[in-house]
């Protein structure tokens, strides 16, 4: 399995997913046409699918042009039908399919939007697994709650964190540095965040993406996963007996206000 991040717009990532065994390919979240087609054409392949994590324009803006040019199918959540341009297939939690020899499963992860989905891709030959989280889970953070509730986002995070900890996380934006700055603010004694900051700084200084990370790294650093951290709760004044949804909502509000 080969996964290539494709920088788009100012800080978005689309992705090209290629099955090594068959050359079958898919594009994830093509926010614009030109850079995605350039990456695809450089490989000399024809993508079979476009996988949309949610309906926002900065993730689907290239759908129509790319689908028309390559004849791709366009996948999105069943509830996003009519909101995702050129959508031809509806998916939901529990759906499975293959991309060549790769096994793909879908998880509905509402919170950022109500129709957000993650695509989990496993290469059985190598044992490698990846998840495309769109704007639900970022490295070190989570998306704003435009349509869903904190409780929904917390449930979505629990579903993602139930995957193998070695799963590689490919998210929708290059927000890692600012996310980790907030993470350090709310949990200053967490040394794992220092390690993540150093890695992020090195990668960005050399012009490289911070993606992918792993779910294990998110477990160690992401405040929206670490909602039970006593230090985070103390920093933000979250009651010890507050529910996961309440804690996530308080952390999200603090992030919204963080400068």
Q: pLDDT tens across 248-258, in order?
A: 999 999 999 99
Average pLDDT of the segment spanning 95-121: 98
Could you tell me the CA-to-CA distances from 226 to 87, 112, 149, 201, 232 in Å, in that order? 35, 18, 18, 22, 8
pLDDT band at 47 (very low <50, low <70, confident <90, very high): very high
Q: Could you give the domains of the chain?
A: 2-257 (3.60.15.10)
The reported pLDDT for the residue numbered 121 is: 98
Residue 6: what pLDDT?
98
pLDDT band at 113 (very low <50, low <70, confident <90, very high): very high
Q: Is pLDDT of 259 > 90?
A: no
* Paired strand residues for 137: 142
Return d(Cα 101, Cα 48) in angstroms, integer.
14
Q: Which residues contact 24 (CB under 8 A, 6 or more apart)?
A: 18, 48, 99, 100, 102
As annotated, the active-site residues are 54, 56, 58-59, 112, 135, 173
User: Are 52 and 75 in contact, with CB atoms under 8 Å apart?
Assistant: yes
What value does the mean pLDDT take over residues 122-127? 95
pLDDT given for residue 93 in this prediction: 97
Residue 65 pLDDT class (50, 70, 90 cuts): very high
Q: In percent, how much of the chain has pLDDT > 70? A: 100
- Rounded average pLDDT over 223-229: 98
| pLDDT score, position 92 | 97
Among residues 243, 254, 193, the alpha carbon closest in space to that of 218 is found at: 193
CA-nearest of 77, 135, 97, 109 to 17 is 97
Residue 122 has pLDDT above 90, yes or no: yes
Distance separating alpha carbons of residues 111 and 246, to the nearest angstrom: 14
Q: What is the mean pLDDT of residues 225-241?
A: 98
d(CA 185, CA 196) in angstroms, rounded, equals 14
Separation in Å, CA 223 to CA 2, 7, 133, 141, 204: 30, 26, 17, 7, 22
Predicted TM-score of the model (pTM): 0.97
């Amino acid at each position: 399995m080969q996964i290539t991040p494709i920088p788009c717009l100012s800080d978005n990532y689309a992705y090209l997913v290629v099955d090594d065994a068959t050359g079958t390919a898919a594009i994830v979240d093509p926010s614009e046409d030109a850079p995605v087609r350039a990456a695809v054409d450089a490989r000399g392949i024809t993508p079979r699918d476009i996988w949309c994590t949610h309906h926002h324009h900065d993730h689907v803006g290239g759908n129509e042009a790319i689908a028309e040019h390559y004849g791709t199918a366009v996948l999105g959540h069943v509830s996003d039908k009519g909101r995702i341009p050129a959508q031809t297939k509806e998916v939901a939690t529990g759906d499975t399919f293959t991309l060549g020899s790769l096994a793909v499963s879908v998880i509905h992860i509402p919170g950022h939007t109500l129709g957000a989905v993650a695509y989990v891709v496993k290469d059985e030959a190598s044992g490698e697994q990846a998840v495309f989280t769109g704007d639900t889970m970022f490295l070190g953070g989570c998306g704003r709650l435009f349509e869903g509730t904190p409780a929904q986002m917390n449930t979505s995070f629990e579903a993602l964190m139930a995957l193998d900890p070695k799963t590689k996380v490919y998210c929708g934006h290059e927000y890692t540095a600012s996310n980790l700055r907030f993470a350090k603010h709310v949990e200053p004694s967490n040394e794992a965040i220092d390690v993540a900051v150093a890695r992020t700084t090195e990668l960005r200084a050399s012009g490289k993406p911070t993606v992918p990370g792993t779910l294990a790294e998110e477990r160690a650093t992401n405040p929206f996963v670490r909602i039970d951290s006593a230090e985070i709760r103390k920093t933000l004044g979250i009651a010890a007996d507050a529910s996961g949804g309440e804690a996530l909502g308080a952390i999200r509000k603090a992030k919204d206000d963080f400068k």
